Amino acid sequence: MPVSQPSDSNNDTKDQLTLLNNQLGSLQRQAILRKIPIVIIFEGADAAGKGDLINRLLLSLDPRGFKVHAMHSPSEESIYRPYLWRFWTRTPARDRMAIFDRSWYRLLLDDRVNGAISDEQLPKIVEEIKNFEKQLTDDGVVVIKVYLTISEKKQYKRMVQLESNPATSWRVTHKDWEHHKLYDEYRVKSEEMIELTKAKKAPWIRINSSDLKSANLKLLKAVVKRLEAAIKIKLTPKIHKIASQLDWRKDKGEPSPLDQVDLSHTLDREIYKTRSRVLQERLHELEHELYICRRPVVLVFEGWDAAGKGGAIRRLVKGLDPRGYEVIPVAAPNTLELSHHYLWRFWTQFPKGGHIAIYDRSWYGRVTVERLEGYCSKKAWKRAFNEINATEEHWSNCGTIILKFWMHIDKEEQLKRFEAREADPNKKWKITEEDWRNRGKWDNYKIAVDDMINLTDKPNAPWIVVEGNNKPYARVKVLETTVKALEDHL
Amino acid sequence: MPVSQPSDSNNDTKDQLTLLNNQLGSLQRQAILRKIPIVIIFEGADAAGKGDLINRLLLSLDPRGFKVHAMHSPSEESIYRPYLWRFWTRTPARDRMAIFDRSWYRLLLDDRVNGAISDEQLPKIVEEIKNFEKQLTDDGVVVIKVYLTISEKKQYKRMVQLESNPATSWRVTHKDWEHHKLYDEYRVKSEEMIELTKAKKAPWIRINSSDLKSANLKLLKAVVKRLEAAIKIKLTPKIHKIASQLDWRKDKGEPSPLDQVDLSHTLDREIYKTRSRVLQERLHELEHELYICRRPVVLVFEGWDAAGKGGAIRRLVKGLDPRGYEVIPVAAPNTLELSHHYLWRFWTQFPKGGHIAIYDRSWYGRVTVERLEGYCSKKAWKRAFNEINATEEHWSNCGTIILKFWMHIDKEEQLKRFEAREADPNKKWKITEEDWRNRGKWDNYKIAVDDMINLTDKPNAPWIVVEGNNKPYARVKVLETTVKALEDHL
């Protein structure tokens, strides 16, 4: 006797729903314990039921574990920064879930339909979005992208229905009706978007939401499936072997940028004084021009201990209006920062257009100190070169002016400065045990720094190696380079 | 032979300046080492040279240690929150200095002159500002308030001068000229402001800035003096004795709120289902009304372990649009939070007008767990009652709707729930060693909770003790109370 197929009765659906909800609640707890961050984005036509389905999804979740972000048009805070800023800064900590009602895909839907993004710009934007998602998934974030479809007829019907009910009429705006008229265009653009941005680790889930109940079931099933898969993945070990951090790119035949530095440059004190005053005044003027055209400026300072980062920064900002710049000292990440992607904390400090952010140490810690001290896996720091390049390229594409200074001295000069500092009671605090320890690893750091410069020196985010043995020379070079770069860009 | 008095020659001034700059640089380093946060605000007439003097002050400082905040008119982010929000969230960490170019005193100057703040509102605002500053100074923040004066004639002269130079003409706006016409009114209001907000620990420094050089000297001297005094204060010990945390307010004759709870209430399951559905639907409607009138809602959940906080929150948000609320789980503070005033992290999470923030545990940790475990000094938690009352009153004055729920069960019910959870593999994770430890301190916690309710139950921020032995009853009570409060306020 053939076993009867399960009927599609109401009761079956209800049982299935209860089961899925329980599974989801349990998976959320497991994800929290295993510190797996989750990002779920919802895109889709107007009146396709995004809000409704988000609500149903959340029913089984612990409200302490998620945050819903309604991503309207960008506010003033966001509009003067690279467009991924407001999404990056909202990426969840390792034990949280972020749900985006509309997302970075606004650019490939609304902005495509209204013409803000042209066909020429399309490939660049697609690449930036794919890079963003890849950086998240490579870092262990589960990215779930939901696209809700609905027929033109059904959309019309729902909007009329919503409008006729006084409690929901506010949900249908003039804009929604405009979009409805453009139904076909939205459909074409959304197909294109889905095709262009499919990714193995961040696939689209397409759901027809004409019937919300079955759409809900389909959504729950898909989310449960993705979370189950994510939880099965082995946890990465917390301790990283550092033995093999250096045997990489050996014999690639690339020159060592640091070996080519001529450290014999000097500058006369008097010339230094006049030059730096003139340059500081010029920079002050440029700061104002910058404000007018609302472009963000990112200046990175890296370098050997005692190479003069602090002194160079001080002379750089001396003439500036302090309301227009910020110096961001970068130390070891705090617990909140550690529970996010390593780039997150730099995104949260990203300057608003018209402002200058000066990073005293930076995201390049990933490929130097984190590489050499084993704070991250070999896989992670090797991946970081591309991640950093992609990030800086995105910033640059969005109008950011980027300069990266490597303050360079030789080993003898460093020793001299260490000893001078230790002898001076006013400067003794500047020298710590760690500085001496790092000095002992000079040759290793040199390999990492050479790799860093070779792999991340880009036309729109160049490295400037500053010959630092002579302080006046170094400081004027930093000032001159900055002034010239701003003049070229403005 | 009489010793000659130092002449007021240029050289003397220069020497004095160099000396002061060096002192200031050294004091900044000491403040960083001793983790003393510094807040300096600049107020004063237009063209009084605020920007100029800030620049001169910063010359001797390490730019990695300070941040300058130009406080223009509030943005959209700020306007829908209590007016101190944008200042509170910008208060510096314990090793940083925050410099405010314009500050919370805008309310007592510009808003007084333009009539946004009336004579009737004045006392309340003054009190809120004084409370704010007191909370900071009590927490060890050095607060320096600078007011720059300038004669009407000199103001006119400087504005004409700035305007005639193409490089600076943009600094003089139409508004500045309007203010200039109101010179006398600004003068009167500023005198009043200084008189009303003088405080021993946060005094005003008045500086006539008609001559910028001497104004600079005067400013540096005053800042050096304040920092020297701050650095002399002994550091508070990090370990707090907890022996005497309870012998306080004994025999005050106050009743114990917890003793008066009748835990015998129950609610039939079926009635519960219907009631909660109706209430959830009503709450959904109210959520929308709330959004329209842009008032923030703060709901606090405190209670015994296993008293049903999580369950009550879940039923409360079940019908809500997730874009309109956020549940904020409050655990032990992270390192960034620890380096700020204990209220800072709650300010940073404060809901925007029209939104609901649900705190699962809250700032009341200060007077419960921190009191009982010795995480802060006795002085600190005793002070906290007033601080919390003042903070909630400020929120309420600015339109915030506040409800605080204490989820109450008796000791036997807790034991039953602990045991039931341990027996259930799906709920075992909810019970930790710490829960059992806390249970052992039940009687001490009861004293702290009674004090908390007695001292912080206010008409505009009431405590609702929820009889929690019967879960349906408790959940409906939370829903009912919230619906009623919103209906009353909207």
Q: Which residues of A touch B68 (CB under 8 A)?
A: 322-323, 326
Cα–Cα distance for residue pair B231/A73, rounded to 1 Å: 48
Residue type, B183: Y
Band (B250; pLDDT cuts 50, 70, 90): low
Residue whose C-alpha is closest to residue B330's, from B308, B309, B356, B306: B309
B interface mutation test: which of A68, A100, A323, A475 has the most B CBs within 10 A?
Answer: A323
pLDDT of residue A254: 80
Q: CA–CA distance from B290 to each of A379, B4, B293 (Å)?
A: 49, 73, 5
Cα–Cα distance for residue pair B374/B246, rounded to 1 Å: 11
Kindly tell me the burial class for residue A9, based on how many C-beta atoms sit within 10 Å of its own C-beta (0-12, 13-18, 19 or more): exposed
pLDDT of residue B3: 44
Q: Above pLDDT 70, what percent of chain B?
A: 94
Q: Cβ–Cβ of A59/B318 closer than 8 Å? A: yes
pLDDT of residue B63: 87
For A86-123, what is each residue's pLDDT tens digit? 999 999 999 899 999 999 999 999 999 999 999 999 99
pLDDT of residue A6: 47
Kindly tell me the burial class for residue B234, based on how many C-beta atoms sit within 10 Å of its own C-beta (0-12, 13-18, 19 or more): exposed
For B79-97, what is each residue's pLDDT tens digit? 999 999 999 999 999 989 9
Q: What is the DSSP letter of A221?
A: H
ipTM for the assembly? 0.81
Task: Among B58, B323, B327, select the one facing A322 at the smallest CB separation.
Answer: B58
Domains B14-232 and B257-489 belong to one CATH topology: yes
How far does the CA of residue A55 sit from the closest CA of chain B (Å)? 7
Q: What is the DSSP letter of B263?
A: T
Q: Which residues of A touch B64 (CB under 8 A)?
A: 310, 313, 327-329, 360
For B364-393, what is each residue's pLDDT tens digit? 999 999 999 989 989 999 999 999 999 999
Return the CATH fold of B14-232. Rossmann fold (3.40.50)
pLDDT of residue A235: 63
Q: What is the DSSP letter of A458?
A: B
Q: How many CB atoms lie within 10 A of CB A35?
A: 13
Chains A, B: CB pairs < 8 Å: 83
Question: Is the pLDDT higher at B227 or at B173?
Answer: B227
For B100-110, what is each residue's pLDDT tens digit? 999 999 999 99
What residues of B are in the A interface, CB distance below 8 Å?
26, 29, 33, 51, 54-55, 58-59, 62-65, 67-68, 70, 75-77, 99, 101, 167, 170, 285, 288, 310, 313-314, 317-318, 321-323, 326-329, 334-336, 358, 360, 426, 429
How far does the CA of residue B281 sit from the closest CA of chain A (Å)? 11
Domain chopping of chain A, boundaries: 16-232, 257-489
Q: Helix, strand, or coil here: B299?
A: strand
Q: Is B444 a residue whose pLDDT tops 80?
A: yes
Return the CATH fold of A257-489. Rossmann fold (3.40.50)
Residues in chain B: 490
Entry pTM? 0.87
Kindly tell me the burial class for residue B58, based on how many C-beta atoms sit within 10 Å of its own C-beta (0-12, 13-18, 19 or more): buried
Question: Is the pLDDT higher at B470 or at B322?
Answer: B470
Among 3.30.1330.10, 2.40.30.20, 3.30.390.50, 3.40.50.300, name the CATH number for the domain at A16-232: 3.40.50.300
Tokens representing B257 are 């709120």
Strand B97-101 with B38-44, pairing: parallel
Residues in chain A: 490
Q: CA–CA distance from A197 to each of A115, A132, B59, B227, B475 (Å)?
A: 19, 11, 50, 56, 45
pLDDT of residue A4: 45
Residue with tokens 């929690």: B468
Q: Which residues of B touch A24 (CB under 8 A)?
A: none
Judge contact between B140 and B28, C-beta under 8 A.
Answer: no
Displacement of CA B152 from its chain's centroid (Å):
37
Q: Cβ–Cβ of A322/B99 closer than 8 Å? A: yes
B interface mutation test: which of A29, A64, A97, A313 has the most B CBs within 10 A?
Answer: A64
Q: Considering chain B, what is the average pLDDT of its residues? A: 92
Band (B171; pLDDT cuts 50, 70, 90): confident
- Find the Cα–Cα–Cα–Cα dihedral A164, A167, A170, A176, rounded to 10°: -50
Q: Is B236 a residue whose pLDDT tops 80?
A: no
Q: Cβ–Cβ of B426/A67 closer than 8 Å? A: no
Judge contact between A242 and A378, C-beta under 8 A.
Answer: no
pLDDT of residue B482: 98
Q: Is B73 a residue whose pLDDT tops 90?
A: no
Sign of the dihedral through C-alpha A68, A72, A74, A76? negative
Query: Region B264-285: what's the mean pLDDT?
Result: 95
What residues of A are in the B interface, CB distance below 8 Å?
26, 29, 33, 51, 54-55, 58-59, 62-65, 67-68, 70, 75-77, 99, 101, 167, 170, 285, 288, 310, 313-314, 317-318, 321-323, 326-329, 334-336, 358, 360, 426, 429
Q: How far apart are the first and last CA of chain A?
A: 82
Band (B219; pLDDT cuts 50, 70, 90): very high
pLDDT of residue B168: 79
DSSP code per residue over B143-208: EEEEEEE--HHHHHHHHHHHHHSTTTGGGS-HHHHHHHHTHHHHHHHHHHHHHHT--SSS-EEEEE
- Find the Cα–Cα–Cα–Cα dihedral A423, A426, A427, A431, rounded to 10°: 80
Band (B6; pLDDT cuts 50, 70, 90): very low
pLDDT of residue B243: 57
How far does the CA of residue B398 sit from the closest CA of chain A (Å)? 23
Identify the helix (H) or strand (E) that includes residue A204. Answer: strand A204-208
Q: How many CB atoms lie within 10 A of CB B181?
A: 9
Q: Is B4 a residue whose pLDDT tops 50?
A: no
DSSP code per residue over A86-117: HHHTTPPPTT-EEEEES-GGGGGTHHHHTTSS
For B98-147, what is each residue's pLDDT tens digit? 999 999 999 999 999 999 999 999 999 999 999 999 999 999 999 999 99
B interface mutation test: which of A55, A285, A352, A431 has the most B CBs within 10 A?
Answer: A55
Tokens representing A3 are 């076993």
Band (B241; pLDDT cuts 50, 70, 90): low
pLDDT of residue B475: 97
For B388-415, what is each residue's pLDDT tens digit? 999 999 999 999 999 999 999 999 999 9
Q: CA–CA distance from A228 to each of A24, A217, A233 (Å)?
A: 9, 16, 9
How far does the CA of residue B323 sit from the closest CA of chain A (Å)? 6
Q: What is the DSSP letter of B343?
A: T
Strand order across the beta sheet in which A401-408 lies:
A325-329, A356-360, A297-303, A401-408, A463-467
Which residues of chain A are modeled with pLDDT < 50? Answer: 1-7
* φ/ψ (deg, to 5) at A334: -80, 180
